[in-house]
Amino acid sequence: MSRKYLLRTLGCKVNQYESQQLRETLDSLGLRGALPGETADLAVVNSCAVTASASAKTRQAVRRQAAGGKTPVVVIGCGAAADKERLASIPGVVGLFSHEDDAVEALRHIVVHRLETFSDRSEAADPGDTRRTGGDDGWVGSGSSEPTTQDADQLTRLSVATSSTDVNVVHDLARTIRRFDGHQRAFLKVQDGCDAHCTYCIIPRLRPTLRSKSIESAVAEAKSLVAAGHREIVLTGIYLGAYQRPTALRRRFDTADGSSALAELVGAIAEVDGLVRLRISSLEPGDVNQHLLDVLATNESCVPHLHLPLQAGSSRILKRMNRQYDADDFREMIDRTRDALDRPAISTDIVVGFPGETDQDFLETLEVAKYAGFCKIHAFPFSPREKTAAARWTKEFVQPSLVRERMQQLRELEQELAATFEQQFVGTTQRLLVEKNERPVSGESGVARGRSDRYFEVIFEPDQRNPSNPGDVVLVQIDRVSPRRVHGTLAQPSASSLSLPVMSTHG
């Protein structure tokens, strides 16, 4: 009987891509994903630590999967680097691997050389004993809330032995994936690492090494993903603007000729046969130069949607955040984008309650949001992260009640801006990638849900004789906009062929 694994992913698109690499590795070793109710022989948690809440969720997920030490757990990702000692103290954890390790090969080594040993110990262990015994194949954990010195020493030996001595370290961007399980849209990671050191951000401490995938490798991977049935690809990375650059610090960029390696990459992938839509996950204002805008405007597979994190609309706060732009730079970037693209959808991230944020600072954030006309705002309350500059400014922390009040104001503005943006497409025909088809219930008509080029979701009634299936590309006329919903009517039958002609997004 084949051994079973459970893979839990927390966090960003980069983590989701990396989990697919791990999934394909485990499948290639003869393991299969555990079904609901089945006990896994190995659990893998791809962790997140971008906020304190994310770190807490990581620890909770590890404890749940470890089941009191009964299931061996491997933790990878940012959480493994940020919270190593506390994670090491959880019974059942047999490996922690960070950005600097080759997690794929480390996991392969554990499955091939150590999994049987871990399983034997689990079966032989006294259920009432919270201690684990170690040796050459493991490490000792006390089961207490704080790890002992012996725990840390044993864990270090395991990490070093697995990632440096026993395997050849190869960073994950040297590998590709063949498919993106469970998703209609496929994420394609092309960049990793950041050294920009925004004062609130822990990521440069956890993923400090900048790496980029070659254009040739990225194009080949995109072709494989399209061949696997994915009609949309989302380019992702930790700092996409630093693609093919040794640093994320813009003052060190050589941009004298106005060229952009990222723009060249986008243009190359946009030409992959059968690709219907190409989307970019996140960019900084300085990344949206004319070269990139020209590529986006002239390739019909490139959607008119950009995710551009604002973080704050106050130049004073942006300077304290150590962001590489001010409010005027952001407005100018919005103007350039609107000039180049037809009614672009612009989504954003905003941090609420940054240390020292005044009512006036927050008002300026609201004003920039209105100017940009964001289609979606991801708002986050400030989360102090250990060893970041902003975490030390405790005397300037904003009262939680005021943060909640500002969050509510931002949510209300987001709903208003989203409705205004979506309303302009009423009466137009839009291309959708179907994500869900809800079958009829109790004699009522079923509904389908799809994502438009400009990212807003549309609900429509499918053709009952030829239902729209997830992954299909359809044309839908937009009929009306209601609170949090856009409604449409199917304009033509489902088109499941990858060779479906790409329609213009202009109107």
> Where do the H-state alpha helices sit in 70-214?
78-82, 84-88, 103-109, 115-124, 149-160, 203-206
For the chain, which residues make up each domain, given as ranges?
A: 4-165, 183-303, 308-321+330-422, 429-490
4-165 and 429-490: identical CATH topology: no
- DSSP codes joined into one string, 418-447: HHHHHHTTTTSEEEEEEEEEEPP-TTPPPE
HEC string of 309-354?
A: CCECCCHHHHHHHCCCCCHHHHHHHHHHHHHHCCCCEEEEEEEECC
pLDDT at 58: 95
Query: Which residue in the block uniquely carries the two structure tokens 């009306």?
Result: 480
Mutual orientation of helices 290-298 and 327-340 as an angle, nearest 10°? Answer: 30
Q: 151 near 171, Cβ under 8 Å?
A: no
Residues 425, 456: Cα–Cα separation, whole Å:
11
Q: Which fold has domain 183-303?
A: Transcription Regulator spoIIAA (3.30.750)
Top-level class of domain 429-490: mainly beta
**3-state SS, residue 70:** coil
What pLDDT tens digit does each residue of the chain (507 aa) get? 689 999 999 999 999 999 999 999 999 999 999 998 888 999 999 999 999 999 999 999 999 999 888 899 999 999 999 999 999 999 999 999 988 888 898 899 888 887 776 655 444 444 333 333 333 333 322 233 333 434 444 443 344 333 333 333 346 687 889 999 888 899 999 999 999 999 999 999 999 999 999 999 999 999 999 999 999 999 999 999 999 999 999 988 877 667 799 999 999 999 999 999 999 999 998 899 999 999 999 999 999 999 999 999 999 999 999 999 999 999 999 999 999 999 999 999 999 999 999 999 999 999 999 999 999 999 999 999 989 999 999 999 999 999 999 999 999 999 999 999 999 999 999 999 999 887 655 555 678 999 999 999 999 988 877 778 888 999 999 999 998 899 999 986 544 433 333 333 333
CATH fold, domain 4-165, is: Rossmann fold (3.40.50)
Q: What is the rounded radius of gyration, in angstroms, for the C-alpha atoms of the chain?
A: 24
Reduced 3-state DSSP string for 78-95:
HHHHHCHHHHHCCCCEEE
Q: Say how many C-beta atoms besides its own lie within 10 A of residue 204's C-beta.
A: 17
Residue 132 is inside which H or E element, if any? none
Q: How many whole angstroms separate alpha carbon 6 and alpha carbon 18?
A: 15
The predicted structure's pLDDT at residue 114: 78
Give the integer Cα–Cα distance in Å for 284 and 174. Answer: 25
Take residue 480 and report the two structure tokens written for it. Answer: 């009306």
SS3 383: coil
**Residue 1: per-residue pLDDT:** 63
Query: What does pTM read for this prediction?
Result: 0.85
Look at the domain 308-321+330-422 and name its fold: Transcription Regulator spoIIAA (3.30.750)
Q: What H or E segment, with its residue span, contains residue 402?
A: helix 400-423
pLDDT of residue 172: 63
Output DSSP code: residue 104.
H
Q: How far is CA 271 from the centre of its chain?
A: 24
Confidence at residue 311, expressed as pLDDT on a 0 to 100 scale: 98
Length reported for the chain: 507
Structure-token match 């700092």, residue found: 239
